Amino acid sequence: MKTIFLLLTALPLFFNPKSTKAQGRTQNKETVIRSFISALFKEKKEPKLIIKDYMNISPCDTVPFYKREEAIINLMDSLKKKVGSLLATKDYKVVGYSDFTGTKKTFSGSTKDIFIVSINKSPIIYFYLEQDKILSFTLIEKGEYGYFILI
């Protein structure tokens, strides 16, 4: 009886559902980023399909959707030219902002939804995600600070 009581009281210490749930969400986000990279750089999928499958474009009253989609396609093209050859390999890592140990940009708000794609501990791309969809992969940098462009 003492063994069962001890086992029941110690079990919650080893299995924390909140912790595993958070780890699952992080893994989902990392999978979304890896799938986005694969679709853009390796599979060379149609940009509009990539946007539909992996990105979250919030509604905006002032700019029509097709113009925002066009801007994102241009940003994807720029990303291909800038880091395409680096990400064509499998040597990159995707990690959460807080887990990245190299030198990184500073952000003023919460960093729990920011992920870094790196090669040899050097950041290549920063991603900002919401609900397992990419909100932005484009930064404006001012000194050590980074600001995401949301389209």
pLDDT per residue as tens, the chain (151 positions): 444 433 333 334 434 444 344 445 567 999 999 999 999 988 889 999 999 999 998 777 788 888 999 999 999 999 999 998 888 776 899 999 999 999 999 998 899 999 999 998 899 999 999 989 999 999 998 888 999 988 7
Query: CB of 136 within 8 A of CB of 149?
Result: yes
Report the pLDDT value the prediction gives residue 2, as an integer from 0 to 100.
45
Query: CB of 105 within 8 A of CB of 123?
Result: yes
Integer Cα distance of 97 and 108 in angstroms: 13
Sign of CA dihedral 71, 145, 128, 91: positive
Sign of CA dihedral 101, 129, 126, 34: positive
